[in-house]
Structures are given as C-alpha cells and as structure tokens.
Amino acid sequence: MIVLKDIVKTYHLGQSNAFEALQGVSLEIQAGEMVAIMGTSGAGKSTLLHILACIDRYDSGEYLLDGTSLDDFSEKKLADLRNEKIGIVMQDFALVENFSVMENVSIPLDFSKKKRHNKEKKALATQAVASTGIEDQLYKKVKELSGGQKQRAAIARAIINNPALILADEPTGALDSKTTKEIMHVFGELNKKGKTIVIVTHDTEVAKQCQRIIRIEDGRVL
C-alpha cells in the first residue's frame, strides 16, 4: 500500500537553523498490516507520519500510495485523498469540546466530495461510533467524556469515510494502562476488518501489539 523512496524533509531550509528531520527514508507497508513506528523524541516519527498523512510535503524522494505517486498532487488533490482514503488519530484527540460526539464524528462527511443527506450522515456516524464501543455517548458533548471515550470518538471520526489507511500519532500517550489496552483492542479489531494501521508510539507494550516495528533514529530508518 505504501512505498517511500529516499524521502528527505528539511525544516527551515536555507536558514541557519535548518534541520533535516528525515534523511533518505525508504520503507514499505503492505495493505492490511498493523505497524508501529518507534523512536526517541526528535527522531522524525511525527514528521514521517505527517508525510504519510499528506499533511506535510517532502523535499525530495517519492511517495507511492496504492501504486500512485503523490509527488505532483495539488493541495486540493491531497486534501481529497486525506478525506477519502486516510483516517488520522491524534494524541490530543483534536475534537471540538463543545460539539457532541455525533457532531465531531460527522465532520469529515462535510468535506467529502460525496454529498450526503442528514439521515445518511447520522446513520454513518452512529455506525462508526458503535464500532468503537461508545454508542451510549453519541449525544454527549466531548467535554463531558473521559480520555478513553474521547480517543474512541476520535477513532470513530477517522473511520467514518471508510478509509483504507489509519494513521495514529501517539494515540495512547495521554491514557492510563487500562484504557490503553482498550484502545489497542479497538485498533486490533479494525485491523482484523482489513484496515491498514500505522501507529507512532514510544510505548513498547503498544508496539508489541503490532505485527511489525519500524525504528527510526536521527531521521533514518534503522
């Protein structure tokens, strides 16, 4: 599904504080894999995830997603790709606190090229939330939820458009060990359904639950 060839990413290019976050990263991730990306702070994990998510551009190299090179994609084409094919889960949940779970989970549908009626949006949101086990929280405001419930809502939002690829940046970093196990169970169930999942983590126990670990240090894959 994913092929990276010699990806280089430099921040503050041409300035005295230039920093090469990724130094020729090459890797492959097969469709249906559940992969952990590990490394120390500043190793380049989040930069790599942002490139996989089509949030950041790379300076050189090639990124193939399902055999298609993304090198020359416009910002609009990348945004459409993110919406249709990639679900993103962040450590801080990135939810709107005063919105209900239903409203938060439905947000990607509002940016989709495929227009849906409110009844269909509600059905899709309900289905996504149910698959993460918090259907009883559907109409609660996010600010009333626990950390684990917020992360489940964030996962539901990531999967509402039925993406093939789910990218998670330290998704258990703000959770206790019991809730971490519950969230990893959710990811495991999604993976069993055929979703390709890439998890950036510093937690060895989280990484062990993935099928493969990619270690990155100083912007290079070890």
Average the pLDDT over 115-122 and give the result: 87
Q: Which CATH class is domain 2-221?
A: alpha beta
Side-chain half-sphere exposure of 203, counting CA atoms within 13 A: 19
Q: What is the DSSP string of 76-131?
A: HHHHHHHHHHEEEEETT----TTSBHHHHHHHHHHT-SS---HHHHHHHHHHHHHH
Which pLDDT value is given to residue 188?
96
pLDDT at residue 17 in the model: 87
- What is the mean predicted confidence (pLDDT) over 10-18? 87
Beta bridge partners of residue 22, listed in sequence order: 9
The DSSP output letter for 44 is S
- pLDDT-derived band of residue 118, with 50, 70 and 90 as boundaries? confident
CA dist 165 and 75 (Å) reads 19
Rounded-to-integer distance, Cα 106 and Cα 208, Å: 32
User: What confidence tier does 31 reach under pLDDT thresholds 50, 70, 90?
Assistant: very high
- How far lies 79's CA from each of 3, 68, 155, 202, 210, in Å? 19, 15, 19, 28, 28
Mean pLDDT over each residue of the chain, to the nearest integer: 94
Say what the pTM is.
0.92
Q: Is the pLDDT of residue 113 over 80?
A: no
Contact status, residue 219 vs residue 44, Cβ threshold 8 Å = yes
The string of pLDDT tens digits covering residues 154-178 is 999 999 999 999 999 999 988 999 9
Q: Could you tell me if 159 and 87 are in contact, meaning their C-beta atoms sit under 8 angstroms apart?
A: yes
- Checking if the pLDDT of 184 tops 90, the result is yes
Determine the pLDDT at residue 18. Answer: 87
Question: 142 near 101, Cβ under 8 Å?
Answer: yes
Between the CA of residue 167 and those of 41, 50, 66, 129, 216, what are the distances in Å?
18, 9, 15, 18, 16
pLDDT at 145: 96
**Residue 39: strand, helix, or coil:** coil
Q: Are the C-beta atoms of residues 139 and 171 closer than 8 Å to each other? A: no
The label of the residue with tokens 């130094």 reads: 23
Q: How far apart are CA 203 and CA 197, in angstroms?
A: 16
* pLDDT per residue as tens digits for the range 133-158: 999 999 999 999 999 999 999 999 99
Q: What is the arrangement of strands in the sheet containing 34-38, beginning at the earlier edge strand?
A: 86-90, 165-169, 196-200, 34-38, 212-217, 220-221
CA-CA distance, 213 to 200, in Å (whole number)?
10
d(CA 178, CA 115): 39
Amino acid at 98: N
Please choose, from the candidates 24, 87, 27, the residue with its C-alpha nearest in 3D space to the C-alpha of residue 214: 27
